[in-house]
Structures are given as structure tokens and as C-alpha cells.
Structure 1
Amino acid sequence: MTVLMQEMSWPAFEEKTKALAPFFLPVGATEQHGPHLPLGTDAFLPTHVAKEVAARVGGVVAPAIPYGYKSQPRSGGGQHFPGTTSLAANTLTLVVRDVIHDLGLHGARRFVVVNGHVENAWPVIEGIDLALRELRRDGIDDAVALRLEYWDFVQTETLDRLFPDGYPGIDLEHASLLETSMMLLVRPDLVDMSKIPNDGPAEFPKFDRYPTPPGLVPASGVLARAQGSTAEKGEWLLTDHVNLITEAISAEFSLQTR
């Protein structure tokens, strides 16, 4: 049986709510990822993780929110790159609120919001808070939501294998080794290894300046080196992400895994 909500009939959906299945909501972005990766990378990856985990815990994956909060230079390159299409923080908050609230009205009680875009964190938190408030207002006081960034679920040993000279941190990994390797596993048809640029890693001050100064971000939009990316490395990462998130959710909701 499918785990994708958009492929379910309403009776199948209702069965899932009666079983207290966890409902996963991937929240991504439509954002530049260099000349070698697609604009939808931040939606493809959390959706893949959500599908894999949902299959193990009997969950449902709601359609991903494909737009995220505004791209920032130090973590995403910035809004000036063609194709980067974003939401204001309040808009994203209200979308998350409305989706969770409606799912709750239709019987969902366990939510897992899987974030795929660094800048989304606080608008998503606010959306969850507002949704749970509205559900309580409507007499539904047993809803529980978990929010996570999938990249936090990785073993130190895996990062040491990937970065023997030291892990630069998730912000600089935009369109770099991690995302490129995972996309080579998840959607290799959308990766063009011949277009990986040679610039980077980016060097940023420890503050943000607006408007963004010209030349602050590498012209390619890639913030660190993507050379050496392979599907095998992507598999190392995604295995950790799926296994560790499955363990965390199963423990939190007392679920049996398949």
C-alpha cells in the first residue's frame, strides 16, 4: 500500500487516522543549488526520507510544501539567483498551520514535520504552535507534533568518513558534498556532475548585511566543494537519516517498525 497521501482514497486515509498513523509533512524550498543540482533539491530529499521512514512505521506522507522561507546568503546563496522562489515567513507559517490543522480536523493526531531547508526552521515552529492552538480551540487536545531537520540524524562516524579533514557544518554544505551525494542516489537523472564548479568554500563574516554585498556569495551558488560526491556516500547518509529518525519516532510514539 502506498504511503503517499495524494495516492490514497479518502477511506484509506480514514483508516490511517483511526490507526493513529503518524502523518509526515515535508517542508522544502524552491531554491538554487548550483549549476549541477535542481531547484527542488530541498523538497526531494526530505520527501524521500519521509517516505522511507513512513514505510517502516505505517505512516502517511502528506504532499510536500515546495516553497520555503527566503534564501539567505550564508546558507542558501540568496534570493538573487534565478529560479529561487520563496515565501515570506508569515506566509510559510500560515501554510504549515493550515495543513496541520486540517489534517487534525480529519482525524490525524501524530505529526512529523520534516524540514529540508535551513531557513524554514522558525516559521515552521510558529506554524506548528498555531496549528496545535487552533486544534485545542476546536476541542482536539491530543495532537502531538514532532519537528526535525533530517540532516541532524547522522552518526559521527559517518561524518568522519565523509570529511576526514573536519566537517564544515550544514550551512556551508549547500549544494555541496552531502546534498550532491544524496541526490545522486535519490534522483541521479537530475544531477549533472560535469557542471560542478571549482569555486568555494565560501568565506562569510559572522553577521548578515542587507542589501547583500556583490561578490559575497560564490557566483555558482555552491558554498563548499562538491567534488568527490558519489551515490555511495549518499547511501551512507540516507541510511543514517532513515534509521535514526525511525528509531526516534518509534520511541516517541511507541510504534512497531516493519
Structure 2
Amino acid sequence: MNPVMMDRMSWIAYRDRIAEDSPVVFLPCGALEQHGPHLPLGTDALLATAVSAGVAARIDGIVAPALSYGYKSQPKCGGGQHFPGTTSLDASSLIQITRDVIRELARHGVRKLVVVVGHYENQWFVTEGIDLALRELGPACPLRVMRLEYWDFLTEQTLARVFPDGFPGFALEHAAVIETSLMLHHHPELVRMDLLPDDGPAHFPPYDTYPPRPQWVPPSGVLSSARGADAAKGATMSQELTERLVAAIRGEFAD
């Protein structure tokens, strides 16, 4: 088995893998933001990396270090910027960091890149970074990029098993059952189940205000209850994510 994590490889081993095998390289994109009292601030990057590593192990890929800072946390899906520890980037900064990293990977000779978004608010700014990088590299560059949000690969059947009382939607799942279960599966030592709050589900009006109103968000930062989360659900979701992502990536990059 080849090593999976890029930052644990020597430059020579990395160079040879890229030149000889043309592996799929994964770029996880997370955030540093509050995830309630029971999950760590780095949950988004940790999970995007764990998902990427599970898939990379199956297809002999390489996982680059995560982009661990994300776009500003929004009240309706991340709780907002008023929480201590939430440390965010302006949109232009995230766009440029994404562009720079992709441009560097192309310089290394990477031809197949999967950008795995683990922070809801990152989506369009990461997309812009991809677009700018490819525009700068030009049409002759052989690099091809997939961008995905890993949660989109969970099927309705699995969500129905994880949420027997009804799925509240991905936006309200911030620090709730999905993320808590996946963290219990991948990083149980970082989860404090004894600190689970009883907040949520949050109820937001169909509009936003600026400056945002912190009082819209439950004091714990959890937008719907994480009660019912467990490692078995995390394992079920992780297995499905791996299987479906492997199939999608193999299909997209089939020679």
C-alpha cells in the first residue's frame, strides 16, 4: 500500500508517485468554527480529510493537507461569527488560497484533483478559486478537477435510517447527528457526548439581516439536536460515502 497523506511523504516519494502513477489527489476544504460544546473547532477539516483518506486508500490516491480556514460562518448554517474560536476568511482570501494551491498542484504534475468541501459556506468561493486556477493554467494544462460536498453522497435510504423521526436538512445539521456520528466513527477521542446540548431545531425567518442577529442562533451553536448520534451511524454513513465516492471518481477519471 502506498502512503495516503501527502504531508507525510518525502518530496522524492511524492514526485515519483505523481510521475509514475498519476494518482487522484484530494484537497479537503474545511473551516475553523464552533461546533457546539461537544465537537472540536476543526470538525469540518477533520471530516473532509477523513472522507478523502477513506476514498484515497481505495483508489491509491493522495490526500493533500486540508485548507483548514473557511469562509465566514453564517447564522443559518454555521451559527455565525459571534462565537469565540470561529476564525474565518474573507471570500477573496479563500478564492486566492484555493487558486494558489491548485496552481501549485498542477505545477507538480497532478492531472486528477478532487476538491472535497466540508464547510457549507465554502462552496462558491472554492468554485471561483478552481475557475481562476484553470483559467490561468490555460487549456493546454492536463489538470481536471472535481468539486463535491461529501454529504451529497448520502442516499435518502441511509438518511431515513439515521433520522427515523425525519431529516431536518443539511443546513440545520451543523454539529448535529451527521457530524457527531461521523466524528464518533473517525475521531471518537475528540467528542464529548456528556456535553451534548438540547438546543434546536433552530427556526430562522426566510431572510437575512446585516449585521446578523446572534439571538437567532441557539446559545450552544448547535442548530438541531445531536441526540441520537452514535458511532454505528457514523460507520454506516462513512461506508456509503466511501463506496459512492469511489464509484463517482473512478467514473469521472476513467481513461
User: With structure 2 as the length reference, what TM-score do the two structures score?
Assistant: 0.97
Cα distance in 2 for partners of 1:51, 1:134 equals: 29
**Matches of 1:214 and 1:75 in 2, distance apart?**
13
Aligned partner of 1:179: which letter?
Answer: E
Q: Counterpart of 1:2? A: 3
2:170 is matched with: 170
Given candidates 49, 52, 55, the residue that maps to 1:53 is 55
| Runs of at least 5 residues in structure 2 that lack an aligned partner in the other structure | none
**Equivalent residue in structure 1 for 2:116, among 111, 114, 117:** 114
1:68-120 CA distances to partner (integer Å, 9 max, x unpaired)? Answer: 00000000000000000000011001001000101101111111000000000
What residue in structure 1 maps to residue 125 of structure 2? Answer: 123
Aligned partner of residue 215 in structure 1, secondary structure: helix
Question: Which residue number in structure 2 is paired with residue 247 of structure 1?
Answer: 247
- Deviation of residue 166 (structure 1)? 2.1
Letter in 2 for 1:2: P
Match of residue 96, structure 1, among 95, 98, 112: 98
Using the TM superposition, give the Cα deviation of residue 46 of structure 1 relative to its aligned residue in structure 2, in angstroms.
0.6
Q: Which residue matches 1:133?
A: 135
User: Equivalent residue for 1:30?
Assistant: 32
What is the aligned-residue identity percentage? Answer: 55
Task: Tell me the amino acid that sits aligned with residue 159 of structure 1.
Answer: L
Aligned 8 A contact 2:176 2:223 in 1 = yes
Render the CA deviation track for 1:103-141: whole Å, top value 9, x for unaligned: 1011111110000000000100000001111211xx742
Deviation at 1:13, TM superposition (A): 1.2
For 1:154-233, what aligned pairs fall within 5 Å after superposition? 154-233=154-233
**Matched residue SS, 2:216:** coil
* Unaligned runs of at least 5 residues, structure 1: none
Q: Secondary structure at the match of 2:128?
A: helix
Letter in 1 for 2:235: E
Distance in 1 between residues matched to 2:155 and 2:184, nearest whole Å: 20
Displaced runs of 4+ in structure 1, greater than 6 A? none
| 1:164-222 alpha-carbon deviations (Å, 9 max, x no partner) | 23211100000001101111111111111111111111000111111122410000000
**C-alpha contact (below 8 Å) 2:39/2:191 kept by paired residues:** yes
- Going from structure 1 to structure 2, the CA distance change for 1:10 and 1:197 (only over 3 Å counts) comes to same
- Is the CA contact (8 Å cut-off) linking 1:105 and 1:135 kept in structure 2? no
Write the letter of the residue equivalent to 1:94.
Q
Are the aligned partners of 2:82 and 2:214 in contact in 1 as well (CA < 8 Å)?
A: no
Name the residue aligned to 1:75. Answer: 77
Structure 1 residue 223: deviation in Å? Answer: 0.2
Structure 1 length as normaliser, TM-score?
0.95
Secondary structure of residue in 1 paired with 2:151 = helix
Aligned length: 253
Match of 2:122, SS? helix
SS at the partner of 2:194? helix
Partner of 1:65: 67
* C-alpha separation in 2, matches of 1:243 and 1:56: 9
Q: CA deviation at 1:20?
A: 1.5
1:42 paired with 2:44, answer: yes
SS of the residue corresponding to residue 38 of structure 1 reads coil
| 2:151 matched residue in structure 1 | 151
Distance 2:61 2:140 in 1: 20
User: Quick one: distance in 2 between partners of 1:15 and 1:213?
Assistant: 52
* Secondary structure, counterpart of 2:198 in structure 1: coil
Deviation at 1:10, TM superposition (A): 1.6
C-alpha distance in structure 2 between counterparts of 1:55 and 1:207, whole Å:
42
Calculate the aligned-residue CA RMSD, in Å: 1.1
Q: Deviations over 1:1-39 (max 9, x none)?
A: 311111111222122222221110000000000000000
